[in-house]
Structure 1
Amino acid sequence: MGNAVGNLFKKAKVLKPREHLINFGYRFAQDGEIVDLRGNPFNFRLTDDMLYCVEYRYMQFLEVLSDDIFDLLENDACLSRVSIPIDASEDEPVACFFATPDYKKADKIMVLIQSMDPNLAGQWDQQLILCKGLAYGSQLPFIYRAHKNDYGVIVMNTHFNVNREKKKKPIPIRGSENPLQHLRYVYQNFLANCKAKQIDIIVHSSGWEPTAHWLAEFQSARKRVRKIVFINVTEPVQIQQNENGAKEFNEWIIKHSLNWIPSYEPLGYPVRSSTTNVTSLSAATMRKSETLSSAYFNIWGFFMSSLHVGPYLDDCQAIIASTMRQAILEEEDD
């Protein structure tokens, strides 16, 4: 399944050399893997034996990688970089998120929310990008597919919380002080005002917590959310019972969400979980790092189905087979 996802990069625009990565002696291969300038697999080598210098150089490389993925979002995935806060003064630090230029006019929107720091916009798992490439660790395959399925796309940037200029003292960014504040700000100032009556969401692992609090707080958002896909979530997706609207939200999230997790069970089959309240399905792999690539067509089969979670699970096997087949055939037609 991973090879099929990797083919997206061969079918997409040619990945042009990124100047920043080249300065470190690396580039993106056409299948999205990071290789050195001779085409050898990524292996970060350092000649300085001082630990501080090693760590500093490596952190510089990760910053450069994030910047080059921002560039890919704009130039290869055809998204626009949107700065926040919208009323920032000249000397005020700003964050950003990414969106299709016409997202306000789209009939449906796909929202992508990453996991824990240091994953910025465009990244599901930074270490997975280093080890296996963009096809496995970046959000690009899902963005390309969302374009194909006529979604407007919004890529959140929940961990862009302070200015990223190394020579300056870290300053919290207004409207993006933490992941929840980022989701609130983007929703209130952008997503709430768009035309779309249907919003689908993909959330990776620990991204569930700010997502749950954002949706619990804004009933207007929940009214437009059709389906949510969680990846590798092992905790209850809920808010505390003493919070306002907890009972209503905790019941709502179960009816609108599926969670793909590592399992030996066949792809897409329900898996019993003692740690999360959201219905979990098998990714047919025991490696968390392979959940997204293994379940890729399964996830899109769920989004392409017209059924909500309950009816979908009632005839899960037949629906998975038909919608996955359709998703795969559409990919092969490109």
Structure 2
Amino acid sequence: MNWLKMIEDLSFRKLIYGSKCPEKLNYDFNKNGELRHVDTNEPFIFNYSNSRNNNHERYEVLGHLITQYVYEILEQVCKLQKIYIPIDALDSEPKSFIFMSENVLRNCTTLVVLLQDRGVFRAGQWDQKATIHEGLQHGTQIPFITMALQCSWEVIVLNPNDNFLALKTDEKSSCVLTSSHVISKRHNSSPEEHMTYVWDHFISKSTAGKVAFIAHGYGGLVFINLLMQRTAEVMNKVYAVALVDSTHHTMHQTQGNCQVQEWIQRHCRKWISNNKLLDKAVGHSMKTDCPTVSTGTEKRGFAPSSSLQSIFKYLKNELKISTKAHVIRSPIATRSRRVMKKT
């Protein structure tokens, strides 16, 4: 799936024209998925004016528009479904949402779950800054989604940072939003709560016997939290976890649980930003953690995209090992056994 070719019909400029944004926000994504000025072809410049507030407001508007653009790509190009949560929410209740491919809950054998770092970015992005300055191929999850779909795997794109609904305030007021100006979204007030809710209502109910996670930054910590909250279920259903620059702390989070620590060592692999070549071992992995390799770059914004091929090679190999182990453990109905059962 050449998604860069397919997004040419989705106009980022149309989003800009249809929104209330600064007149000088004259940018678009080129055929390589890079954000460039329409007239000068230069990358995005943050310091457009002498006013830091104006520059920051302009940056926030751009980030919001990119978020909406990524949503369009997920739905129209990747053909993912937008699912609102909580599933029992009232019409007037603040809701969040996730994206998932159509067969997650039926006819699904292998499922990949994408879990991003903590920040302002929403579903479909690894990092907003990387999307703006490095391009869609580096800052978004789209290459990961398309590769998973090409493998005939189903996909769930989480949205762990969409936790609150900001209330409208007096535009003339310059005060900063406080806790009284936001409404927490039920079952989604934190990345950890969001992850647990999606596990309970979607991932655990999927027909997939093999589930893989790709977690970036704080997402790694969120996954380990899920592992501790739903230990037996996760161990039974998840066959591999790819952690990219993860901020998890195995010793602290597992609270000395040797069974969980052993599972992490066997089923997780960590990629970290490093100047070594891609996949080269980094440091000495502790028995309570997992094997650690280099992303092949020191630039954190490039960490997920640089590791893309390596991560999918790992997931495919682990899937083969897991499937083979399952076949070996399955009882073999021999002729003699069937005869003995009848007598």
- Normalised by the length of structure 2, the TM-score is 0.80
Report the counterpart of residue 128 of structure 2 in structure 1: 126
Report the counterpart of residue 87 of structure 1 in structure 2: 88
Q: Do 1:231 and 1:260's aligned partners in 2 also have CA atoms closer than 8 Å?
A: yes
CA distance in 2, matches of 1:71, 1:196: 26
Question: Which letter maps to 2:314?
Answer: F
Q: Do 2:285 and 2:292's aligned partners in 1 also have CA atoms closer than 8 Å?
A: no
**What pairs up with 1:177-188 in 2 under 5 angstroms?**
177-188=189-200
Q: Do 1:212 and 1:238's aligned partners in 2 also have CA atoms closer than 8 Å?
A: no
Q: Is 1:248 paired with 2:262? A: no
Q: Which runs of 5+ in 2 are unaligned?
A: 20-24, 171-180, 326-343
Runs of 4+ in structure 1 displaced over 6 angstroms? none
**What pairs up with 1:145-294 in 2 under 5 angstroms?**
145-163=147-165, 166=168, 169-218=181-230, 219-233=232-246, 236-240=249-253, 242=255, 246-273=257-284, 277-294=289-306
CA distance in 1, matches of 2:254, 2:46: 50
Report the counterpart of residue 28 of structure 2 in structure 1: 27
Shift of 1:25: 2.2
Q: Do 1:21 and 1:27's aligned partners in 2 also have CA atoms closer than 8 Å?
A: no
Q: Do 1:237 and 1:278's aligned partners in 2 also have CA atoms closer than 8 Å?
A: no
CA distance in 2, matches of 1:249, 1:239: 12
Shift of 1:35: 1.8
- CA RMSD, 1 decimal: 2.5
Render the CA deviation track for 1:54-89: whole Å, top value 9, x for unaligned: 322322221222122112111111111110111111
More displaced 10-residue stretch of structure 1: 25-34 or 285-294: 285-294
Count of aligned pairs between the two proteins: 301
What percentage of aligned pairs have identical amino acids? Answer: 24
Q: Do 1:258 and 1:280's aligned partners in 2 also have CA atoms closer than 8 Å?
A: yes
CA distance in 2, matches of 1:263, 1:51: 33
Q: Is 1:16 paired with 2:10? A: yes
Compared CA separation, residues 41 and 102, structure 1 to 2 (3 A): farther
Report the counterpart of residue 53 of structure 1 in structure 2: 54
* Partner secondary structure for residue 304 of structure 2: helix
- Normalised by the length of structure 1, the TM-score is 0.82
* Partner secondary structure for residue 183 of structure 2: coil
More displaced 10-residue stretch of structure 1: 10-19 or 58-67: 10-19
* Partner secondary structure for residue 164 of structure 2: coil
Compared CA separation, residues 280 and 79, structure 1 to 2 (3 A): same
Shift of 1:253: 1.3
Structure showing greater Rg: 2
Q: Which runs of 5+ in 1 are unaligned?
A: 1-6, 312-334
CA distance in 2, matches of 1:273, 1:64: 43
Question: Which letter maps to 2:83?
Answer: V
Q: Do 1:81 and 1:96's aligned partners in 2 also have CA atoms closer than 8 Å?
A: yes
Shift of 1:26: 2.0
CA distance in 2, matches of 1:287, 1:55: 23
